[in-house]
Amino acid sequence: MILLAARNPIIRWSYLVEQSDRIQGAIVEHLQLTLLPVTIGFVLSAVLAAIGLRYRWTVGPITLFAAFLYTIPSVAFFAVLRTTALGTSIFTVLIPLTGFTILILVTNILDGFRAVPAAVREAADAMGMTPARRVITVEVPVAVPYMINGLRIATVTIVGLVAVAGIVGRGGLGNLILEGLRRQFWTPLTIGASLSILLAITLDLAYYLLGRWLTPWSRTRRA
Amino acid sequence: MDGDVDRPAIRFEGVTKRFPGTTGDAVSDLDLDIERGTIVALIGPSGCGKTTTLKMINRLLEPTKGRIEVEGADVGTQEPVQLRRGIGYVIQQVGLFPHRTIGANIATVPRSLGWDKAHIEDRVAELAEVVGIETQMLSRYPDELSGGQQQRVGVARALAADPPVLLMDEPFGAVDPIVRGRLQDELLDLQQRLHKTIVLVTHDLDEAIKVGDRVALLNVGGVLEQYATPDELLRAPANRFVERFVGEDRSMRRLALATVGDLPFEPGPVVDASADVATGLAVIDEHRSDWLGLVDDERFLGWIPREELAPGASLRELERFLPAAQVEPASTLRSALEVIMNSRTSVAVINDDGRFRGTVTLERIRAGLAGDLGGPTEHAA
C-alpha cells in the first residue's frame, strides 16, 4: 500500500487508454444527465411562465415553489429518492436535477417577456397582429437572449450537480471522482473533475454560439 | 373604403370613455368630424384624453359610449385585426421590432395581408425612398439607426399597405428640436403627395399649428374646447381656457404661421414708370409716404425720394434706390416684419420670382392680423 501511495501521481496517463471505454461512457452519461433535465426543465418552465404571464397572481406562488425546490440540498434529495420505489433508476437523478433548473429558467423566461418594450407590443397590436401571432413572431424572439442566458446558467449548474449524483451510482463523471476518493487513487478523480469542467465550458460556449446565431440583431447594437 | 366624398373620413358621435376604477371621464361626449385628406392635431394638457381619443379610432381602446366611424363604417362592428391593418399607426417610441431588419419592419402589414414577395419588395423599396431611408439601410436592424431614422422607418411601416387613415401619437416627441422640425416638414411634404387623413396627437402647440389643417383643443376630462383652423384658434379663442392655452403671444404665433401671400394685394405708393411726376406726388401723398416706387412691366425698378420729385421731370430719369427690403409671397409675416424694421423706406416689396406683387408695411400686417388669415393648407395649394 505504501508503495502504491508513493506511486499515486495526480494523473497516470496509461489509465486514460486502459479505461477509455469507461471514461467515454461516463462522458455520455454526464451529458445525458445534464441535457435531459435542462430540456424537461425548460418545457416545464415555459408552461409555468406562460401561466404566470397569463394570470399574474400566479407568478408569486410559482417563483416560491421553484425557489423551494432550489433550496433542497442535492445530496439529500438524491438520498431520499434512493430509498423510495425509484431506487437507483434514472428518475432518482432526473427529478431533483430537473427541479433545480426550474427557478433559473422560469425567472429568465419571465424576464425575457418583460423585456419586450411596451411600445413594441403596442405597435404589433396596432399593425393588426393577432395576439398569438404577436407572441410567436415578436415577443418570443425578443425574449430569446434571456432564455439562452437562463439555459446557460442552468446547464453549467447541472453539469456540476450531476457529479453529486455519483452517490447513488448514476453520476457520469461523478462516478469516477467518487471512485478516486474511495480508493485514494487520484487519477480517476483528476480525470472526472477535469472532464466535468471541460464539459461545462464546452456547453457554455455552445450556448453562446447558439445565441449569436439565433439573435443576429442583438450583435449589431450601436450603444 | 372609398366612401362618398361628402362624408368625413372619421366621425366621433357622442363618444365617452371612462376607465374602470376611475371617477371622471377620460373623454366625454365627443363629437368630431375629420375631413378626408386633412391633418387634424389633437392637443391639450395632460389628462385631456387626446391619446385615448386616438386609440379608440383603431380600437386599441373601446369607447364606453358613442360611436366612431372610419370611412363611413362603424369601427365597433369591425374585426379589430382587420380594421387595424387598414389604419396606419405611428407612436413616439416608434416600437420597431428589434429582431427584424428595417425592410422586414416596413413589410409587417403587407406580409399579414398576404401580398406576394415581389410586390412586398417593390413596396418596401418605394417607401424607403418616400421617407428618405437609403436602400442599404433596409438590411440593417433598428438599433443601428438614429432616432430620426427610426421614426422615418416607423412612418414607412405605417404607410406600407397604403391605408387612407394615419394615426400618429406624439410621433416627433422623442427626437431633438432640429430633427423634429425636419420630420414635420417631411410629413407636410409627404401629405402634399399622399393626401391621407391624419390624426396627430401632440402636446406641442407650435407643432399643432404647423402641421394641423385643423386643431382640436381638449381640456382635462376629454372636453372639446375648440375645433378650428390654427389661425382661427389664435385669432379668436373660443373661451378663457383656449386663450390661456394658446398664450399671450398668440399674435406672434400667427405672424409665424401666416405668409405675405395671405395678405390681400396692395400696391402701395407705387406707380408705373410711364406716369408723370404729378401723378407720382398724388400717390405718395395718398399713402403718406416719403418714397415713390416705380414699376415697369411687373418689374420693380426702385424707390425715388420725395425731394427728388421736381415738377416737369420724367420719372424714368430720376435717380432711384433699389430696395433692400424685399420679401417673397411665401415669406412668413414674421420675417416680413423683420425686413421692414431694417428698411429705410418702412415698406417691403413683394418680389415673386422677379415680378412685382405689391408691398407690405407694418400697418398692413397689423390690419392682416385683425382679419382672417389663411392657414398652411391655403398657401400650400
Q: Tens digit of pLDDT for each residue in B111-156? A: 999 999 999 999 999 999 989 999 999 999 999 999 899 999 999 9
Residue B272 in domain: yes
At B185-224, the pLDDT tens digits run: 999 999 999 999 999 999 999 999 999 999 999 999 999 9
pLDDT band at B240 (very low <50, low <70, confident <90, very high): very high
Q: Cβ–Cβ of A125/B60 closer than 8 Å? A: yes
Which has the higher per-residue pLDDT, A100 or B373?
A: A100
Domain count, chain A: 1
Query: Are B218 and B343 within one domain?
Result: no
Confidence grade of residue A220 (pLDDT, cut at 50, 70, 90):
low
What span, in angstroms and rounded, lies between the C-alpha atoms of B232 and B372? 7
Average pLDDT over residues B45-52: 93
Cβ atoms of residues B164 and B196 within 8 Å = yes
Rounded alpha-carbon distances, angstroms, from residue B35 to A199, B6, B38, B195, B374: 68, 9, 6, 11, 18
Q: For residue A128, give the nearest of B96, B99, B109 by CB distance.
A: B109
**pLDDT for residue B379:** 36
What cell was used for B368? 392682416
Banded pLDDT at A114 (limits 50, 70, 90)? very high
B289 and B306 share a domain?
A: yes
Give a yes or no: residue A221 inside a domain: no
Residue A98 lies in a domain: yes
Q: Tell me which of A199-208, B20-29, B322-331 is least confident.
A: B322-331
Burial of B150-169, coded b for 16+ CB within 10 Å and e otherwise, reads bbbbbbbbbbbbebbbbbbb
CA B82, CA B370: separation in Å to the nearest integer? 48
Q: Whole-angstrom Cα distance, residue B61 to residue B76?
A: 11
Q: Judge if B349 and B270 occupy the same domain.
A: yes
Q: Is B46 helix (H, G, I), strand (E, B) or coil?
A: coil
- What are the residues of chain A with a beta carbon less than 8 Å away from any beta carbon of chain B? 117-130, 133, 138, 141-142, 144, 215-218, 220-223
Bigger pLDDT: B322 or A190?
A190
The answer to whether residue A19 sits within a structural domain is no
A5 falls within a domain: no
Does residue B142 fall inside a structural domain? no
User: Is residue B144 assigned to a domain?
Assistant: no
Same domain, B184 and B321: no
CB distance B108–A127 less than 8 Å?
yes
Q: What is the DSSP string of A83-118?
A: TSTTTTSHHHHHHHHHHHHHHHHHHHHHHHHHTS-H
C-alpha cell at A147: 432564455
* pLDDT band, residue B251 (cuts 50/70/90): confident
Q: Does the complex come out with an ipTM higher than 0.85?
A: no
CA distance B361 to B349: 9
Q: What's the confidence (pLDDT) of residue B292? A: 87
Output the furthest CA–CA distance in chain A (Å, rounded).
Answer: 80
> With contacts defined as CB-CB under 8 Å, which chain B residues touch A131?
none
The model's pTM is 0.80
Q: Give the pLDDT confidence of A50-107 residue by residue, as tens digits.
A: 999 999 999 999 999 999 999 999 999 999 999 999 888 889 999 999 999 999 999 9
Q: Is the pLDDT of residue B8 over 80?
A: yes
CATH code (residue B273): 3.10.580.10
Is A21 part of any domain? no
Q: Which helix (H) or strand (E) holds B228?
A: strand B223-228
Q: Is residue B77 part of a domain?
A: yes
Of B91, B93, B98, the CB nearest to A142: B98
Lowest mean pLDDT among A217-221, B48-52, B230-234, B287-291: A217-221
Higher pLDDT, B227 or B260: B227
Contact B112 A129 (CB under 8 A): yes
Q: Which residues in chain A touch residue B101, judged by CB atoms under 8 angstroms apart? A: 217
Q: Cβ of A125 and B84 within 8 Å?
A: yes
Q: Which of A54-68, A208-222, B252-266, B273-287 has the highest mean pLDDT?
A: A54-68
pLDDT value, residue B366: 87
Whether B320 and B190 map to the same domain: the answer is: no
Which residue of chain A comes nearest to B97, CA vs CA?
A120
Count of CB contacts below 8 A, A vs B? Answer: 82
Q: Please indicate, yes or no, if residue A18 is contained in any of the structural domains.
A: no
State the best of B91, B94, B99, B113 to mutate against chain A, taking most chain A CBs within 10 Å.
B99
Name the band, by pLDDT with cuts 50, 70 and 90, for residue B374.
low
Q: Are B266 and B359 contained in the same domain?
A: yes
Which structural domain range is residue B17 located in? 10-86+163-257
Same domain (yes/no): B192, B231: yes
The residue range of the domain holding A180 is 28-213
One domain, residues B76 and B175:
yes
Q: How far is B358 from chain A (nearest CA, A)?
A: 51
Indicate the SS3 state at residue B80: helix
The answer, yes or no, to whether residue B377 has pLDDT greater than 80, is no
Tell me the CATH number at A100.
1.10.3720.10
| Whether B72 and B171 share a structural domain | yes
Contact by Cβ (8 Å): B213, B38: yes
The C-alpha torsion from B175 through B177 and B178 to B182, rounded to 10°, is 70
For residues A25 and B266, the model is more confident at A25
The 3-state DSSP composition of chain B as helix, strand, coil percent (nearest 5) reads: 40, 25, 35
For A153, left (φ over 0), alpha (ψ -120 to 50), or beta? alpha
Ramachandran class of B110: left when φ > 0, alpha when ψ lies in -120 to 50, beta otherwise = alpha
Residues B167 and B276 in one domain: no
User: Across residues A35-45, what is the average pLDDT?
Assistant: 97
Tell whether A144 is covered by a domain. Answer: yes
- What DSSP letter does each residue of B284-315 carry, written as one string? HHHTT-SEEEEEETTEEEEEEEGGG--TT-BG
User: Does B148 reside within a domain?
Assistant: no
Instruction: Write down the pLDDT at residue A162.
Output: 94
Q: Which three cell numbers stand for residue A56?
A: 399574474
**Structural domain tally of chain B?**
2
In a domain? residue A8:
no
Provide residues of B within 8 Å CB-CB of chain A: 58, 60, 80-85, 87, 89, 91-101, 108-109, 112, 140-144, 157, 167
B168 and B70, same domain (yes or no): yes
pLDDT at A1: 46
Domain at B63, CATH number:
3.40.50.300
Pair B63, B201 in one domain: yes
